[in-house]
Structure formats: C-alpha cells, structure tokens
Amino acid sequence: MTIGIIGSGAMGAGIAQVVATAGHPVRLLDQNAAALEKATSSIATSLRRLAEKGKLTPEAAEAAVARLHPTETMADFADCGLVIEAIVEDLGVKQQVFRGVEAIVSAECWLASNTSSLSITAIAAACQRPERFVGIHFFNPAPLMQLVEVVPAVQTRAGLAEEVKALVASWGKRPVLAQDTPGFIVNRVARPFYGEAIRILEEGIADIATIDWALTDLGGFRMGPFALMDFIGHDVNYRVTESVFTAFFYDPRYRPSFTQKRLFEAGYLGRKTGRGFYNYA
Ligand code: NAD
C-alpha cells in the first residue's frame, strides 16, 4: 500500500521513516520546499545511521530510502491507500487540506490525521466520505516511540479503527484505541503534568532544574517536564494546551500558563530555537 504523508516537519518526517522502513512506498508532501528537502535528507541520514549501528541492514536502509518520494503536488497521491496528515495544528487548515486530498485519492483510500488535540470528528466532517477517516496519533520522535493512539471519529465506519490498528501494529508499533476526546489519552494526562510543574515554578516552590531532577532521578520519568516541553517546542505545546482547555469548555484543570505563553510569544521555543526554559546555545 502506498502511503501519502502531508507535512514533512518533525512528525511527518518521522512517520515517513516508520512506514518506509515497514515496506510502504511513501509520497511525502510539504508546501515548503526547504522543509521537504531537509526532511528527505534527514530521514536518509537517520536510516543510514541505524544501519551503521546494526539496527537495520544496509540493504534495508537503502531500500527504505528508495521508497521515499518527496513531492510538492497532491496529484501524486492518486495511488495512495492511506493518507496521513501532519501539518499545522489548525482545524480550518486541516479541513481544507482534506478537501484537496479527497479530490485526488480513490474512494477506498483511508484518511488519517496525526493531530494532538483537535477533534477527529470535526476534521472528518469536512470530508465527503467521513466514514473512512480516523486519527492516527504518533509520538515524537515517531521512529522511536512505540505508542500510537488510534482514534475513530463519530462518523468512522465500524471496523475501520481495528483494521488501522492492525496496520499500525504491522509497523512494529503498539497501537491503542482511544475515544475522540480532547488530548485523547496521553496528551490529556500530560496537560496537568506540565501545568502543575509550571505552577510549582511560578509559586517559587522549586526551580526548573530541581523539578526536572526530582521527577527523573526520584520519580522515574525519562524526562522532566521542563526538558520535555523544551523538546516538544513551546509553540506546539502551548497550542495543544490552549486547544485542550478550550475543548474541555474551559475546565480550569487544563488552563494554559502565561509563563509558557510568553516563551511562545518571544520565540523561545525550546531546543529548536536554542532557548526555552533552558539555554541550549
Ligand atoms: P512542524 O511544524 O514540525 O511541521 C509541519 C509541517 O507541515 C511544516 O513543514 C509545514 O511546512 C507543513 N505544512 C503546513 N501547512 C501545510 C499545508 N497546508 N500543506 C502542506 N504542508 C503544510 O509540526 P509537527 O510538530 O510535525 O506537528 C504536525 C502535527 O502533528 C500537528 O497536528 C501536531 O499537533 C501533531 N503532533 C505533534 C507532535 C510533536 O511532539 N511535535 C506529536 C504528535 C502529534
């Protein structure tokens, strides 16, 4: 099955690597030519590095590289059996993109969004055939993270989520089914994890390094909340918090923080800009 991926940023590139390694021809599309070029070369580098480390054979790595077809035109998606969207977290933009996808793909092609926080049902509602729509939510970095949340929309036909789960499992991932609610499972649990850590900082109870240290060294978390927010990026993380808060009808448990909003506004987005809660320069 050929898989189309829209968006070649952090997630789209990672998902492309996963499905190309699993044997699918991949059409990787981005509206930004530079982003597409960067993603294509970083996927190739990452696959070859895995071969050097002995995690893939050199032949398997080169075969996966050869399955990757970057494109800037949606018309190349005509032969796709599945299209996964991983573009900007904006409902209107995602809906618009899927209208364009449906004009190209066959009626049998499955459609999926990698959204972290938007309603799968609302994105599906923009489609002519919403019954073939589902959420496939990967975690960052997609090649390393095992968990994938599979989220049926209200309109999704019975049985599709199970078929998608089986496909995702065939990529070596561990899919779980989640209902279409804001943040699904992990991002919902994560909101209070970040929010409470920021409140502890704001209330002067402990500093950033101490909170991260306590949760990693003592709490057994792989990353502390501040290191993790810097890794995800404050643009992405702030928007997800705002979206989950709004979607839960302004439940104060999910209230975003000004501390993170200011980092976002300043462009101190974390690792990707060299500065966030920590300084990476
Ligand atoms: P990103 O900013 O790294 O990449 C998005 C890419 O999409 C960019 O290269 C951009 O040029 C492209 N794009 C934007 N609009 C487009 C359009 N209309 N057509 C074609 N390309 C377009 O973002 P990301 O972190 O990869 O996130 C993408 C999606 O995945 C979002 O919905 C996000 O919520 C979700 N997500 C992110 C993470 C994470 O940790 N970053 C984890 C899981 C899910």
Share of the chain above pLDDT 70, in %: 100
Distance 61 CA to ligand 1 centre (A): 25
How far is 116 from 107, CA to CA, in rounded Å?
A: 26
Closest to 201 in 3D by CA, of 210, 188, 192: 210
Structure-block tokens of residue 8: 């070649």
What is the structure's pLDDT at 117?
Answer: 84
Q: What is the pLDDT of residues 79-129, one digit of tens each?
A: 999 999 999 989 999 999 999 999 999 999 999 999 988 999 999 999 999
How far lies 21's CA from each of 59, 104, 164, in Å? 11, 25, 18
Verify whether residue 187 is a known catalytic residue: yes
Distance 146 CA to ligand 1 centre (A): 19
Look-up: residue for tokens 């933009």? Answer: 93
Q: What is the pLDDT of residues 21-45, one digit of tens each?
A: 999 999 999 999 999 999 999 999 9
Verify whether residue 62 is a known catalytic residue: no
Distance of CA 57 to the CA centre of its chain: 27
How far is 151 from 133, CA to CA, in rounded Å?
A: 9
Structure-block tokens of residue 184: 């699904």
State the greatest distance between any 2 C-alpha atoms of the chain, in Å, as a whole number: 57
Strand partners, 174: 147
**Alpha helical stretches, state H, 53-119:** 58-66, 91-102
How far is 164 from 136, CA to CA, in rounded Å?
A: 8
Distance 80 CA to ligand 1 centre (A): 20
User: Identity (one letter) of the amino acid at 222?
Assistant: R
Q: Is 30 in the pocket of ligand 1 (CB under 6 A)?
A: yes
How far is 112 from 82, CA to CA, in rounded Å?
A: 7
The domains found in the chain, sorted by start residue, are 2-177 (3.40.50.720), 186-272 (1.10.1040.50)
The model's pTM is 0.92
Verify whether residue 149 is a known catalytic residue: yes
pLDDT tens for the chain, 281 residues long, are 999 999 999 999 999 999 999 999 999 999 999 999 999 999 999 999 999 999 999 999 999 999 999 999 999 999 999 999 999 989 999 999 999 999 999 999 999 999 988 999 999 999 999 999 999 999 989 999 999 999 999 999 999 999 999 999 999 999 999 999 999 999 999 999 999 999 999 999 999 999 999 999 999 999 999 999 999 999 989 998 998 999 999 999 999 999 999 999 999 999 999 999 999 98
